[in-house]
C-alpha cells in the first residue's frame, strides 16, 4: 500500500524559467503576457525562492486508525451533497 503523508511544492521565481514553462504549455509570448503579465513583471524586481509543505492530518489519522482510505477521516468531503449534513 502506498501512502502519501505530506504535500510539498516549490514555486517558480525566475522570469526566464517561467517564460520557458509558458512556452512548453503552448502559450505564445503575447498570450502569456496578456494573462500573466502581472506575474512576469513582478519577477523583474526579484522574488525569493518560496514553497511550502503541508502535513495531511486526515492522512495521519487514516494511518493510525487502520483505514486504507482517508475518506473515513475527511470532515467535509467535496463529493458529499450538503443536504445530508
Q: If pLDDT is split at 50, 70 and 90, which confidence band does 23 have?
A: very high
pLDDT at 85 over 60: no
Query: Would the pTM of this model clear 0.85, i.e. be above it?
Result: no
Q: What is the pLDDT, as a whole number, of residue 69? A: 78
pLDDT digits over 27-72, tens only?
A: 999 999 999 999 888 888 887 777 888 878 888 888 888 887 777 8
Cα–Cα dist 66/60, whole Å: 10
What cell was used for 81?
Answer: 451533497
Burial of 6 (0-12, 13-18, 19+ CB in 10 A): exposed
Question: Chain centroid to CA 78: how far?
Answer: 17
| Beta strand spans in the chain (E) | 6-10, 51-55
Domain ranges (residues) in the chain? 6-84
pLDDT > 60? residue 82: no
Amino acid at each position: 500500500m502506498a501512502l502519501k503523508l505530506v504535500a510539498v511544492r516549490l514555486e517558480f521565481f525566475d522570469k526566464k524559467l517561467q517564460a520557458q514553462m509558458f512556452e512548453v504549455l503552448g502559450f505564445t509570448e503575447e498570450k502569456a503576457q496578456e494573462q500573466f503579465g502581472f506575474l512576469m513583471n513582478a519577477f523583474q524586481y526579484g522574488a525569493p525562492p518560496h514553497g511550502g509543505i503541508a502535513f495531511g492530518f486526515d492522512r495521519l489519522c487514516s494511518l493510525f486508525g487502520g483505514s486504507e482510505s482517508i475518506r473515513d477521516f475527511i470532515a467535509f468531503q467535496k463529493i458529499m451533497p450538503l443536504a445530508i449534513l
